[in-house]
Structure 1
Amino acid sequence: MGQLLRIGWRIAGFACAAGLAALGAGGAAAESATIATTANTIHCHIGDDIGKGSLLCVIFEREGPLARPRPADCAQGWGHAYYIEDHGPVQMVCYQVSKTDWRGNFQFDVTQTARFGGVSCRATRRVVDCRNLDGNGFFLSRREQTIF
């Protein structure tokens, strides 16, 4: 806990409609992939390790208390970026947020659970709730961000 996670983030060509499908020849990493809420308030960048689920979710505008205190060595934005893998705890990421009008490659289907390897997410227009195989996860909305 308290350890700052710094990510050199690479994105692969994964898409989600009602599950996970690889883009590109033979399932190889091909394009950047981002899945967004339909209100475009949260973007999740899909990890590129085939066979391993990971997401970096960024909420553009947040209010309320921080899910964890800002580390002393984080001079950038804090409280906006959350990283989850198949196993292990959720990490908050020191990440400078810049709002974009880009809607991502894909949008969460609010009627389906999206699966990225061992990470599953449910979403509404403005909320993303993800958890991994260990039961660790996060809930992100503008007014509340929770790590469990």
Structure 2
Amino acid sequence: MKKLFILTSLTFSVAAFAAPSSEGTENEINSGLYNIDFRAGNGKIYCGGDAKTSDLAQGISCLTEIKGKPVLPRPKDCDLEWGGTFFLGKTGKADMVCHSDFPFNPKARILKDGETVKGNGWQCTASGSEVTCSNQDKHGFKVSQKMQKLF
């Protein structure tokens, strides 16, 4: 069963994809949900890690608007957005997430090529138009707008 990721604390419109770039700046706002906010893939991949509250899934989540078919089929119990959100806990396998809101900071700083962010049991590294996140079990995901891979 896929994780159902419904976040109601703070929402941003999907129009945030069109938000102007704030490359090279510090976080101007905080999503309120995550201790760590960043963007990768030239600002087109939004990520939030280590949720501030224990009732939310702990780990790293990243969202991007994918071009093409999702790597996994939509679960029957997902009536929300599907295909561009990925989750990885500090242990276990990566998964795709059914979600309703945009809980990410649209003005989070953009990682430089080769830059790594580390959280509680996970790390993500930016490389060109993609980001690769892995956990202490060596599971993870590699995502760009054109490619998705779970490992």
User: Partner amino acid for 1:102?
Assistant: P
TM superposition shift of 1:125: 4.2
TM-score, L = length of structure 1: 0.70
Instruction: Calculate percent identity across the aligned residue pairs.
Output: 23
TM-superposition CA deviations, 1:65-114 (whole Å, max 9, x none)? 3221100111111111111111001121112466x99322x322323322
Is 1:84 the counterpart of 2:119? The answer is no
Aligned equivalents of 1:31, 1:70: Cα separation in 2: 26
Aligned equivalents of 1:6, 1:125: Cα separation in 2: 30
Aligned equivalents of 1:68, 1:140: Cα separation in 2: 13
**More deviation in 106-115 or 137-146?**
106-115
3-state SS of the aligned residue for 2:38? strand
Is 1:141 the counterpart of 2:144? The answer is yes
1:65/1:47 Cα in 2 relative to 1: closer, same or farther (>3 Å)?
same
Contact persistence 1:80–1:95 (CA under 8 A): no
TM-score, L = length of structure 2: 0.68
Aligned length: 125
Counterparts of residues 1-148 of structure 1 (less than 5 Å): 3-7=1-5, 9=7, 33-37=36-40, 39-48=42-51, 54-59=59-64, 61-96=65-100, 102-104=106-108, 106-148=109-151
1:134/1:142 Cα in 2 relative to 1: closer, same or farther (>3 Å)?
same
Contact persistence 1:83–1:90 (CA under 8 A): yes
User: Partner amino acid for 2:120?
Assistant: G
Q: Which residue is 1:26 aligned to? A: none
- Give the root-mean-square deviation of aligned CA atoms: 3.1
Contact persistence 1:122–1:129 (CA under 8 A): yes
TM superposition shift of 1:62: 0.7
For structure 1, list consecutive stretches of 5 or more residues without a partner in the other structure.
Answer: 12-28
TM superposition shift of 1:115: 1.1
1:39/1:74 Cα in 2 relative to 1: closer, same or farther (>3 Å)?
same
